[in-house]
Amino acid sequence: MMNKEIISNKQGITLMMLFIFGSTLVLGTGGEAKKDVWLAKIIGIILAIPVSMMYAKLLSMFEGKDIFDISKLAFGSFLGNIINLLCIWFALHIAALVLFSFSEFVGIVGLDKTPRVVFMGSLMFLCAWGAKEGIEVLGRWSEILLIFLIFIVFMTSTLSIPNFKFSNLLPVLQDGIKPVLKGAFSAFTFPFTETVIFTMVFSCEKDKKSLYKIYILGLLIAGFVLVITALRNILVLGSYMMSMAYYPSFNAVARINIGYFLQRLESASSIIFLISGFAQISVSLLGASKGISKLFNFKDYRFIVVPTALIVLNLGFLVSKDIIELTKWNLEIFPYYGLIFELVLPSLIYICAKIRYKKINTMDNSEEM
């Protein structure tokens, strides 16, 4: 049983946006830049545009094929499968990281005595269900849920206006350009080029421009929302409080108090985390499941979703000891770690595929004849 799953450009963009939001909306990124974090994010978006275009170009070069098929075509079966294993690992790791962040967040801000396996297991069950239903269902789901998420982000940002201190933003570039560039590098790898996972999920059909649209518009709109939230957080909290907080968005929203009537809106942050975290885990799970099934030359991936989800659930316990270790790891190690999977490997596949492109095309045409 193998159905061709097709999603519209709008669904692709919304899914891409939710994926980019992932854990970033709550955890924050580019913290090295401190009060210039908004600038670091803008530079990160600009740096991510050519990389996203490379992902789209890579997929549009081979009709109906994803990165697993392309790497096999470019490197041959053996080397291609080794590269595919690395891609599968990255997808599993990203899913586990989001799952861990989510369970730590719920454990810290709310249910501190509940065993972590309860939140992780329930979320993973839903994600496995979503991944099993396929990209079409996830696309339709994201189209509906994104509206709520955007509404929450803009509502909380608007209601935070009375707490804004514009002196928190000034002076711009107080510590020079170096921390901003470090923050931009950090934002580039987490979350803007994590979208490499979509190369495992998407494949290009007749309209080759649609992939570019999905990648670029998804990146730009999600990036704009992330810049807005970063500005809100820095204006409300200031650089010192922001560097101390593990969940800056949660802390910034918690300060909203309009006439002692509109307050305690931080639960809205939890809803944001749940929606975007679900999307990111589901897409990563889908990518990893597709990769594993292709490793064993299966066309259908659905039968392997449950074991893959269980791997993610277990990795969720092993990614890090606690949120302190994870935050340090995200700042110091992830930019280099992510670069391998998000830039080096796709570039290698792209260059090799480009070189062998004509050869592969002629081989495919002769097979069809």
* Site residues (vs another protein, CB under 8 A): 93, 96, 292-293, 296, 298, 303-304, 306-308, 310-311, 313-315, 317-321, 325-326, 329, 332-333, 336-337
- Structure tokens, 90: 């990255």
SS3 for 88-108 is HHHHHHHHHHHHHHHHHHHHH
Q: What's the CA gap between 124 and 118, in Å, rounded?
A: 10
**CB closer to another protein out of 148 and 336:** 336
Buried b (16+ CB within 10 A) or exposed e, 169-197: beeeeeeeeebbbbbbbbbbbbbbbbbbb
- Structure tokens, 10: 């709008």
CA dihedral 21, 25, 26, 31 (to 10 degrees): 120
Cβ–Cβ < 8 Å for 218, 13: yes
Q: How far does Cα 195 stand from its chain's mean position?
A: 6
Q: What's the CA gap between 8 and 30, in Å, rounded?
A: 32
Rounded (10°) angle between helices 37-61 and 67-75: 60
